[in-house]
Amino acid sequence: MSRKRTGNYFYMIIPMILIMGIIIGWPLVQTVIFSFTNSGLLDTEPASFVGLKNFISAFKNSGFLSSLKVSGLFALVVVTSEVIIGTAVALLLNEPLKGVRLVRAFLILPWAVPTVVNAIMWRLIYNPEYGALNSLLYQLGLIDKYVSWLGSADKALGSIMFADVWKNFSLVAMIVLASLQSLPEQQIEAAKIDGANGWQRFIYITMPYIIPSLQVAMVLRIIEAVKVFDIIYVMTKGGPANKTRSASIFVYQEAFTNSRIGSGSAFAIIVVAFIILLILVYMRALNRQKR
Amino acid sequence: MKRISVLLVLAICLLTAVSVFAADETVELRFLGMAQAAYSEENVNDMTADFMAAHPNIKVQTEFVPYEELRNKTMLAYGSNSPYDAVLVDDIWFAEYASKGMIKDITAEIPQEYKDGVLGGGWNFVTKNDQVFGLPWFLDTMFLFYNKSMLSEAGYEEAPKSIEEMVEMAKALKEKGVVEYPFVFSMAQAEALICVYSNFMEAYGKDYQDADGNWIVQESGVDVLEFLISLKDEGLLNPNSLEYLEEDVRRVFSAGDAAFTLNWGYMYAMASDPAESSLTADQVGVMVLPGKEGVRENAAMSGSMGLSVISKSAHPEEALEYILYLTNKKLQDTYSNLQLPVWTASYDDPAIIEGREDLVAAAKLAFDIMNARPSVPNYQEASAILQESIQSALYGDASAQDALNAAVEQMNALQ
C-alpha cells in the first residue's frame, strides 16, 4: 500500500479520533488537572494548585488504603474463582453430552443480567429473615438459625464475591469454550494414540491452546474487578463498618459526597495506576511464558 | 400564485411569532424530590399537576431519587450548568447548603399567614443565622412503635414510661418466649443508624457538641453506645438490625417478629394495613420514645424536611410560588393521611385526628420537644465517620470509648 493511500485512510479516522478525544480524552485530562488542585464540587471558592499534596495524603489515608485492600482482595478472589469455574464449565460443555446445546444457550443468562439487578436479586437471596439461601441451608440442616450474610463484618465481602462470581464466570466460560471449539481434534487423537491420559491431554494440549483466550478473559475481569462499584454499592453501600468499601466507592464518596473533586481525582488516578500495575505484572508473566 | 405564496409566508411568520411569544410566556421549572413512602412520586406529581392547572404559565418537571442520592444529585446539578429550581432538603443539610450559598434566603418573601400558622419546630430547622432558607414541608421524628398484644401477653397493659422500663419489658418478653428479639432498629451503615443513635442520645439527655460547637460525643455518647451494645449482647436486639434500614424494620415489626422499633411516622398507617402487615390497628402502639429515668420524660430527634429555592434558579419567583403551593394548609390537610401537616391548626382538626389519635398526640408532643442532629456544614462526612465508628463498636471490633474517640479525632480533622 502506498504512503499516499495510507494517508487518505488516516484522514478517514480523524472524526473517530476527535469523538474519542472529546468523550474519553478530555475527562481524563480534566481529572489529571483536578488531581493537582484543591477543587471542590461547587466551585464556590477558586481552586488552587497544590502540587503532589493530594497524592501524598492518599497514601496516609487509612480509609483509602483499606479500600484498596478490599478491591485487591475482591479482584484476586473473584478472578481466580471465575477462571477456575469458567474453565471447568467450558471443558464440560465442550463434551458431546446430551442437552449440551441447551445448556450453552442458558450459560449466557447470568452474564446478561444487569449488575444492579443481580445485586438486588442476591440481596433478596441473602435476606436474613426470608432469604432463599437461609431457607435452603436451614432445611438441609447446615445452619441452626438464619444468618445475616450482608450484616456480618466477616461474611459480607465473601457474600458479595459469590454473587459476582455467579454473574461473571459465564463470560470466562464462553471465551474458553469458543477457544476449545477450534482445538484441532487430530491433536487430541494423536495424544490418545501416544498413550496420554485425560489429565496429560489437558495439561499438554488443551491448556496451552486455551491460555491466550484465558489471558484475554483475565485482563478484562481484572480491570472490572479492581474498579468494582455497583454490585457493592447496591448490596451493602460499603458497610458494615466499611468492611466492603472498595476503592471506587471511596473515590465516589471523596469526590461527590465530601465534595472534594481534587483529592477524589488523585485517588482515582492511583486506582487506575493500581490496575495498570496489575496488568503489567500479568503481561510480564505472560511474555515470560511465551518465551 | 405569487400572492398566495406571499400570504402563506406571512401566515407562517405570524404562527411562528405567536408560538415564540407563547413559549416566552411559559416558565419551566425543575424540581428534585425524594422517592419515598409518605408523599409518593405519584402524590407529588398530582400536587404538581394541580399547581400547573392553577398556573398555566408555569410548567414543572419533577424528578425523584432515593434519599441516599438526594444531596449528591442536588449538589452535582448545582455545580453543573443545569441546576434545579426547587429542591427537597433534609434538615441536616440546611447548614451546608446555606453556608455554600446554594439555597436562596426567602426571609422577606414568606407570607404572614405561613409565619403565623406553621409550627415553630418547622421554622427552627430551615432558619440559619436568622435567615429563612426554605419552607418546612413535613415534620417527622422516629416514633417508638410497640406491639400491644405482645406486651399484654407478657402482662403489661401500659406502654413503657422510661428506657429502663422498656428494657425490663423486653427482657420479660424474651424470657416468656413471646418474641425472640424484642427490639429491631435500622442500624445499617447509613444515616438511619445516626437517627436511631441520636434518639437514644436525646433519651439520655446528651449532646454531640458543646455550646461552642466542639465535638464532645466521645464523652457524652459512650454510655448511649454501651446501652445499644448491651441490647445486642443480651440478645434483646435483633442481630440483623446491623444491616437493616427503615423499610426492613417495618417489615419485621409488621410480621409480628418484634415488640419495639423506632421508625418514622409513615409506618403508622402501613403497620396496620392488611396489604402490608399481619397486625391489626389495635395491636399497633405508637408513642414518643421515653427518656432515661431521672433525665427526661420523652425524647425525639428531628427528621424533618423542607423545600428550598436554588440560588442559581433562573425563575426564583415562580419556584417560590411552587413551594408555597406544596406547603399550603389546604393541600397538606388533603394529604394528611400520608403525612401530618406542618400547620398548627391542623392538629385541632377532628377530620385529621380521627382514627389516629395516638399518632397525632405523639406527633404533637414530639414536634414540640424534638432536637436536631448536629448542624454543621460538613455534616455528611461527620455522619459517615460516626456510622463506621458506631458499627465498629456494635460488631465488637472496638470498645464504645475507643470507637467514639477515633470518630471525634477524625471529625476534628475535618474542621
Q: If we measure between CA atoms, which residue out of A164, A180, A159 comes closest to residue A89? A: A180
Q: Find residue B371's DSSP bridge partners.
A: B301
Chain A contacts of B189, Cβ < 8 Å?
236-242
Q: Is residue A102 part of a domain?
A: yes
In the prediction, which pLDDT does A96 show?
Answer: 86
Decide if A236 and B102 are in contact by the 8 Å CB cutoff. Answer: no
Q: Hey, are the CB atoms on A44 and B243 less than 8 Å from each other? A: no
In a domain, A91, yes or no: yes
CATH number, domain of A121, equals 1.10.3720.10
Cβ burial B223-244 (10 Å sphere, 16+ → b, else e)? ebbebbbebbeeebbbbbbbbb
3-state secondary structure of A133: helix
**Is the separation of the CB atoms in B380 and A257 below 8 Å?**
yes
Tens digit of each residue's pLDDT (9 = 90 or more) over B150-186:
999 999 999 999 999 999 999 999 999 999 999 999 9
pLDDT tens-place string over residues B138-150: 899 999 999 999 9
> Could you give the residue ranges of the DSSP H alpha helices within B255-342?
267-271, 316-326, 329-334
Q: What is B143-301+378-414's CATH number?
A: 3.40.190.10
Identify the pLDDT of residue A41.
78
CATH superfamily membership of B24-140+303-369: Periplasmic binding protein-like II (3.40.190.10)
How many CA atoms does the CB half-sphere of A215 hold within 13 Å? 17
> Residues A93, A173: contact at Cβ < 8 Å?
yes
- Give the distance from residue B123's alpha carbon to the nearest chain A alpha carbon, in angstroms: 27
* Domain ranges for chain B: 24-140+303-369, 143-301+378-414
Q: Could you tell me if residue A32 is inside a domain?
A: no
Q: What are the residues facing A27 on neighbouring strands?
A: none
Answer yes or no: is A264 within a domain: yes
Name the more confident of A208 and B47: B47
- Close Cβ partners of A191 (under 8 Å, ≥ 6 residues apart): A200, A201, A204, A205
Q: What pLDDT does A219 receive? A: 86
Q: Which helix (H) or strand (E) holds A244?
A: none
Going by C-alpha positions, the residue among B128, B138, B240, B110 that lies closest to residue B186 is: B240
Q: Which residues pair with B60 in a beta bridge?
A: B29
- Is there a contact between B265 and B339 (Cβ–Cβ < 8 Å)? yes
What's the whole-number mean pLDDT along residues A217-233? 92
Nearest by CB: B252 against A129, A153, A238: A129
pLDDT band at B119 (very low <50, low <70, confident <90, very high): confident
Does the pLDDT of residue A143 top 70, yes or no? Answer: yes
Confidence grade of residue B337 (pLDDT, cut at 50, 70, 90): confident
Same fold, B24-140+303-369 and B143-301+378-414: yes
Interchain contact, B251 vs A129, CB within 8 Å = yes
Give the number of domains in chain A. 1
**Residues 6 or more apart whose Cβ sits within 8 Å of residue A49:** A36, A37
pLDDT confidence of A161, banded at 50, 70, 90?
very high
Answer whether B171's CB lies under 8 Å from B179's CB: no
Residue A254: list chain B partners with CB under 8 A: none
Band (B17; pLDDT cuts 50, 70, 90): low
Q: What is the pLDDT of residue B354?
A: 87
Domain that holds residue A174: 50-290
d(CA A103, CA A239): 36
* Alpha-carbon radius of gyration of chain B: 24
DSSP states of B163-220 as a string? HHHHHHHHHHHHHTTS-S-SEE---STTHHHHHHHHHHHHHTT--SB-TTS-B-HHHH
Predicted pLDDT of residue B102: 94
